[in-house]
Structure 1
Amino acid sequence: MSAQLRPKGDEPAGVDRERGSVDTEAVLTALEDPDCRALLEATAEEPLTAGELTDRCEIPRSTTYRKVERLAEAGLLEERVRISADGKHASEYRRTFEDVTVSLSEADGITVGLSGAADPEAAD
């Protein structure tokens, strides 16, 4: 694929990468949803457009858009613009993490951490 990628927008509302914190409830709610998990699995290897996600995950297009939005707000997917030579640019989505860690402690309660980048281009 010869398309270029550009990040779209800022960090999601539920993510503060500098402090390493995420919205625990948003992440756990997203991970509880089977459609969201399917979308995350599909984006493990490469960024995909909503149409590609709809086809691979066999989820209705309207549902795909809702779930992608939920995952992006939780900081689990990142939206980028796929630039193509023919001028038909498309949004595509990539996973922002390699691992999710859930911790439970008396002092902090439940905390969620995201580590690693699922896409080598994430280091850009």
Structure 2
Amino acid sequence: MRSKLTYRLGLAGLAALPLAGCGPPDAAPDIAEQGGEPVECALDGAEDFSADCMVMDSGGVRVVFHPDGGFRRLEGGSLPTSYDGADVARSQTEQGFTVVSIGDDRYRFPAQAGDE
């Protein structure tokens, strides 16, 4: 009887080993170290913008990373549109910034020449 219990506990321990190799979310390389730049964002319906998000450009696609590990992919020139999500991106120019809204999230980019 004892050997069956030991065997089961051993299997449970082996099953948990892959999880032991997972580090905390902040163990990922810093986006800024990979060439990312800060971008102001207001996430989950927040009223105020903060510089907590990072953006990386890759072949015409902007990837905006959230501090919690989430991200959004945007494509297009000065007025980006959503690239891979179910939510539609809306862009508007406000006080020298292009504000992109996707769902409850907003991102504020410096406006480029020709944005209106």
TM-score by length of 2: 0.25
**When you count strand as a share of all residues, which structure comes out higher?**
2
**When you count helix as a share of all residues, which structure comes out higher?**
1
Specify the structure having the higher radius of gyration (Cα).
Answer: 2
User: Which protein, 1 or 2, shows the higher relative CO under an 8 Å CA cutoff with sep ≥ 6?
Assistant: 1
TM-score by length of 1: 0.24
